[in-house]
A and B are shown apart, each in its own frame.
Chain A
């Protein structure tokens, strides 16, 4: 399940949709807005997304992770728009037969999203607004 949305999400609901009888492990990562970045205060963040491309990339990452790690199913939800401190930014939930492949897949999905998916954060701070830019892949 892939979603790119302005709305908040429920981790419990996502896990209920993901769950199946063959899964012995559900590993979840939730990214949230922190009140500081690189030693400076952050009031809120704005997230921009190239939605058509992001959806396609997230779907490809989901499919590749299932094939690579042998897990059963993966849900990825990423929000965009204006988010306050402590708001949810994104979640990844991986359901697998056992914990090792579920943890490995969750970490790989997160790092691959940070490298490839066209989504950008802008930090709104008392000192001005700053785009956060990642490493070139």
Chain B
């Protein structure tokens, strides 16, 4: 299945793009996607913490992904 990843702030700078489409196995979790992304982008390895939102809501790493989901990866926020 295909999902869209989006990157923000220092994660965006590390990966060098603000997002991309990724094909992952059906039934993948957020954690599985993160591992796949670390394979694609070695520079993500060892980067902690990474916050993750699916379709605009924070999720746990065990959350199952669905076709078409938008998964955002970003560092702790610093607005306000």
A residues apposed to B, CB below 8 Å: 31, 47-50, 52-54, 56, 78, 89-90, 110, 113-122, 131-137
- Chain B's closest residue to A78 (CB) is B79
- Chain B's closest residue to A123 (CB) is B78
List 19 A–B pairs whose Cβ atoms lie within 8 Å, in order of A's numbering: A31-B80, A50-B8, A50-B56, A53-B53, A56-B56, A89-B80, A90-B80, A113-B79, A113-B80, A114-B77, A114-B79, A118-B77, A119-B79, A120-B74, A131-B13, A132-B78, A133-B76, A134-B77, A136-B51
In the complex, B9 has a CB within 8 A of chain A: yes
Does B79 contact A47, Cβ atoms closer than 8 Å? Answer: yes
For the A-B complex, the count of residue pairs with Cβ-Cβ distances under 8 Å equals 80
In the complex, B25 has a CB within 8 A of chain A: no
Does A50 contact B80, Cβ atoms closer than 8 Å? Answer: no
Which residues of A have CB within 8 Å of B6? 50
Which residues of B have CB within 8 Å of A118? 8, 51, 53, 72, 74, 77, 79
Q: How many angstroms between the C-alpha atoms of A50 and B80 in the bound complex?
A: 14
- Chain B's closest residue to A58 (CB) is B79
Chain B: interface residue total (CB-CB under 8 A) = 20
- Chain A's closest residue to B70 (CB) is A52
Does B53 contact A116, Cβ atoms closer than 8 Å? Answer: no
Which residues of B have CB within 8 Å of A117? 77, 79-80
Q: How many angstroms between the C-alpha atoms of A99 and B10 in the bound complex?
A: 39
